[in-house]
Chains A and B, each alone.
Chain A
Amino acid sequence: MNYFGLRVPPRREDRHPGTCLAYGGTLCGSKKGGRGCAMAADAERAFTQGSICPLLPAMGMMASLPDTVVLMHGGVGCGTCLHGTNGNVRAGFAARRGRPADIRWMSTALNEIDVISGGNEKLAQAIKEADAAFEPKAIFTVSGCLPAIIGDDIDAVAAQVQPEVKAKILPVHCEGFKSRFMATAYDAVYHAIGRNLLPSPSPTAVREEKTINIMNVGSMGRVDELELARLVGSLNLHANFFPVFADPDSFAAATQASLSICTCPTHDDYFLQYLQEKYGVPYIIRHMPIGIANTGAWLRDAGAHFGLSDIAESRIKAEEEDLGNALKEFLPLFKGKRVFISAGEFRSLATASLLKELGFEIAGIRSFHYDQFAELELDKLRADGQDFVWNVANVQPFEEANLLKRLKPDLFLGHWHGNNTAARLSIPTHVIYNTGYGYIGYRGVYDLAARLYRKLSNTSFGDRLGAYSQLPYKKSWYSKNPFLFIRSQSGEAIC
């Protein structure tokens, strides 16, 4: 079943009950029926710091599509995050199309009068302005919190204005307050793409026998795509990349591929199920190709689908041998160093597996959320019986500061804007994604190792920083239970 017939896509928490935002305990303790604290889907915090709402990742995805305009319907602040995304998009265009280009976006900048009298008319005008100014192929009209509260109807406006504009209008529902899970963003954007940019199914449609849809993510640079294209290319398969940086017209090709495979299992199920149901494109959602074993597992899956398991096995063997030799010089420095990881659900877990392969010990992991897709990855980490702190948190650095003071790791890998706390504690940090760098596939393993080797070879910047910069917490906080403020809605503390 799919929800693409609905105007508004469901929230992640409704589509995947059990999705969880707050947990503090250990990895093994989180296993159902295991010891320790139980995970509760309704868990939340009685103290919170600034977080990320679905709008942010959604804007990042949309802004990358060439020949589109993102029209933000909301207060003038919503969407200015794109100033921060612009660098990625410029670099992404330079890598894919030869020259950088700034994001094309506009805001309806709702004011007090609009809040009282409604913003529909303003949105309608703004769509026409965007169409006339840029002559784009598509205009994403994105609803922030305000229009949803005051009752604007972005779908009705889109339908009303569509006959007057050349661009396809794609209404996107991304109201921050509606979902606690950032992952809802991916569904919201896919919903708009699926409803507007795909052709009608046709029995005579061509099936590209050797073509595979590789689902990229906003945190993936071109260098990572090239690595995956190289790997599937070694099986004589051709890769399409969707949805990030894909031309609006190119999505039609997604319906003709022989397989879709995701690179981040929490990212794509909404769209890939739809592609399968409506266009008969089967999909694989299982492994993230970060780490040696994970990359092999990912490639093995793709190969098996096309009956190319033998070639895949020999490729994997050769790749692992090459990589293993190249990594040798780094491993003595890494051996036994303790690392703490904090990032999006899947990225944090897969990167932990990679770091174990490099000889690090895991001191702890924080994942921005938990859902059913993570179970396989969690089991990989649980397999050797080593247990460590696992914290589910949409950022919330106060818990992290407390944990880091206790655990004193030798290295920290964190999300974009998530390394500040560790850095001020003089823990060497490395950003867990930065779209210019390689992280994915075998090359990603090597590139990450080389960067960590460089990072650990001179930690003076952080050492001195920690001596003079203090975190904004009272000393007493560090002696309290880091998960003190986690509770379930019934009012009971979870841990």
Chain B
Amino acid sequence: MLSSIESPRWTCALGGALAAAAALPRTIPVMHSGPGCAANFAWTQNGAAGLQVAGRCAGLSFPATNMQEGEIVFGGAERLHEQLRHTLQIMDGDLYFVLTGCIPEVIGDDVESVVSGYAAAGKPVIMASTAGFKGNSYFGYEQVLKAVFQKIVRPGSAAKRNLVNIWGIPPMMDVFWRGNLRGVEELLGLLGFRVNTFFGGQASLPSIANAAAARLNIVLSDVYGVEAAELFRDIHGVDFITSPLPLGAAASDRFLRRIGRRLEVPAKKIETIIQRENKRRYDYLEPIIDVYNDMEAQRYAIVIGDANYACALADFLAEDMGWLPELTVITDVLADDIKAGLLRQREGRSLIPAQKIIFRSGSREILEAAADDWTPSNGRYSKRSQPVFVLGSSLDRNLAQTLGAGHLSVSFPVSNRAVLNRGYTGYGGGLLLMEDVISAFILAR
């Protein structure tokens, strides 16, 4: 086990929580932390989230206590109290979300009692414990979910047969989070369901408050948001199902069948939808069949991403595009049982003869692992003369260059693309992903 991580492809709990809280409707995050955390996250997102930074509040507009030496010596609760009082005076929000950084949690500030005082007075103030040393940005996202499920979601709402909740797509850590949430919402809409997405433009605080009325919680991740789903089930009695990100057509087919069955949608209806959506997709593909085949667009591929993206992208390449994603690298630092679970799910699922899944975090380790098998050979007869494509983050450009491979940034960090409403989930998302992947290697055409 290494004592260091090279260029981590995530930030700390506070950073993930900040991105999530800022993505909640009309919510003002309030950081109780050191003086540089805000700028650190703004700069992080600047270079990692497809040009997106913050949201309704700009990156440096979040209220923040900016703790100094005095607070470390005497405690920061009083400063937080003052900060909250003034925040409520001037910041325009319907929810104020206090997030703690490393400093208050090491020095033992009783943030909970400050926050509960405001809540008791009827002010919409909640908190999540998000010290950087407690976990990474995915953990921070999960802490925000838990706080929302405990404090905002009202217990005992009357069940609605056509309502489901989705989460598991962490804002900013999934750079395409807005488009991906919308893509899944559209898929579920095909089955006749309304969807609570919690985050992004389509969400509202009243609909979040009503989330306990849902029939099912769908976690679009095998890792992130699962604990929160257990908590939701324990508090509100709504069961959950986990699902890989449905990127593109084949994954969407599977998603609709599996979720549809679970929600008792008649199989015939599901198949009709799948037929119709695939037909639509192939209408778009028909005009590029000539060029796609003639240009020999099929590639071997190395796919690098977090636990949500890596395997889902590899599946997309293998199924929708007919490529050979022989190496998949999952970049998160995960517990052994979670790793084993992810691998178990893949058993017997590989479409292609050789598919290797490995866990590596640092760019250099990834390059070493890939170079073993993929460095172009100088020999006259080598399978390695076949084209390779790297689908990963912007930190994998060096790998692509080393291998003479094409490259597209999809997983965090994405520094070299602008992402607005783009998403890769669903049938339409798959078309966009195919456009982007192909466009990435025909730039010089």
Contact = CB atoms under 8 A, between A and B. Distances in A.
B102 A75 contact: yes
A126 B47 contact: no
Contacts of B197: none
A108 B61 contact: no
Contact of A177 (B41, B68, B86, B395): B68
B363 interface: yes
B133 A146 contact: yes
Contacts of A108: 3-4
Tell me which of B46, B59, B60, B362 has the highest count of chain A C-beta atoms within 10 A of its own C-beta. B60
A145 B59 contact: no
A78 B35 contact: no
A342 to B, nearest CB: 11
Contact of A80 (B15, B34, B64, B86): B15
B106 A149 contact: yes
Given A177-B68, A472-B91, A474-B90, A420 B58 contact: yes
Contact of A77 (B14, B45, B91): B14
Tell me which of A54, A56, A146 has the highest count of chain B C-beta atoms within 10 A of its own C-beta. A146
A362 interface: no
A428 interface: no
A85 B2 CA distance: 25
A289 interface: no
Tell me which of B35, B45, B63 has the highest count of chain A C-beta atoms within 10 A of its own C-beta. B35
Contacts of A115: 106, 133
B58 A421 contact: yes
Contact of B34 (A49, A53, A125, A418): A53
A52 B37 CA distance: 8
A405 B31 CA distance: 26
Nearest to A396: B60
A123 B4 CA distance: 8
A106 B361 CA distance: 11
A166 to B, nearest CB: 17
Given A55-B40, A474-B90, A50 B62 contact: yes
A459 interface: no
Interface string A65-98: 0000001001111111111111100000000000
A446 to B, nearest CB: 28
B398 interface: yes
Contact of A103 (B7, B41, B53, B60): B7
A121 B4 CA distance: 12
Interface string A171-185: 000001110100000
Contact of B106 (A85, A133, A146, A395): A146
A51 B13 contact: no
A109 interface: yes
Contacts of A149: 72, 102-103, 106-107
Contact of B44 (A83, A106, A421): A83
Interface residues of A, number: 74
B52 interface: no
B38 interface: yes
B93 A485 contact: no
B44 A51 contact: no
B35 A176 contact: yes
B46 A102 contact: no
A477 B103 CA distance: 30
A354 interface: no
Contacts of B93: 472
A430 to B, nearest CB: 17
A278 B398 CA distance: 42
A46 B43 contact: no
Given A177-B72, A420-B59, A80 B46 contact: no
A47 interface: yes
A397 interface: yes
B287 interface: no
B132 interface: yes
Contact of A126 (B4, B41, B395): B4
B116 interface: no
Contact of A51 (B8, B64, B132, B136): B64
Tell me which of A52, A108, A123, A149 has the highest count of chain B C-beta atoms within 10 A of its own C-beta. A52
Interface string A33-74: 000000000000011111111111000000000000001001
Contacts of B47: 82-87
Interface in B110-150: 131-134, 136-137
B7 A75 contact: no
A76 B46 contact: no
A379 to B, nearest CB: 30
Interface in B7-55: 7-8, 10-15, 28, 31, 34-48, 53
Tell me which of B42, B71, B103 has the highest count of chain A C-beta atoms within 10 A of its own C-beta. B42
Contact of B60 (A49, A125, A134, A480): A49
A105 interface: yes
A335 interface: no
A277 B256 CA distance: 74
A150 interface: yes
Given A109-B8, A417-B60, A145 B102 contact: yes
Contacts of A85: 43, 47
B90 A473 contact: yes
Contacts of A47: 63, 82-83, 86-87, 89-90
B246 interface: no
Contacts of B362: 106
A347 to B, nearest CB: 16
Contacts of A106: 4-7, 362
A178 B71 CA distance: 11
A50 B11 contact: no
A418 B46 CA distance: 13
A149 B48 CA distance: 29
Contacts of A129: 2-4
B44 A130 contact: no
Contacts of A480: 90
Given A51-B36, A472-B56, A82 B7 contact: yes
Nearest to B44: A80
Nearest to B40: A81
A51 B35 contact: yes
A256 interface: no
A146 B12 CA distance: 13
A77 B69 contact: no
Interface in B343-400: 362-364, 395, 397-398
A480 B63 CA distance: 18
Contacts of A130: 4
B4 A50 contact: no
A420 B14 CA distance: 22
A50 B66 contact: yes
A444 B131 CA distance: 43
Given A108-B4, A180-B35, A472-B91, A84 B48 contact: yes
A107 B43 contact: no
A48 to B, nearest CB: 5
A75 B135 CA distance: 9
A474 B4 contact: no
Contact of A472 (B8, B69, B92): B92
A105 B6 contact: yes
Contact of B40 (A78, A103, A109, A146): A78
Contacts of A111: 133-134
Given A110-B132, A126-B3, 18 more contacts: A46-B83, A47-B90, A48-B64, A48-B83, A49-B64, A50-B37, A51-B36, A75-B132, A77-B37, A80-B40, A83-B47, A87-B47, A102-B395, A112-B134, A145-B103, A150-B106, A177-B103, A418-B60
Interface of A: 46-56, 71, 74-87, 102-112, 114-115, 121-123, 125-126, 129-130, 133-134, 145-146, 149-150, 176-178, 180, 394-395, 397-398, 417-418, 420-421, 470-477, 480, 485
11 contacts: A51-B39, A75-B133, A84-B43, A85-B47, A87-B47, A107-B8, A115-B106, A126-B3, A126-B4, A146-B102, A470-B56
4 closest Cβ pairs, A-B complex: A50-B38, A53-B36, A77-B12, A75-B132
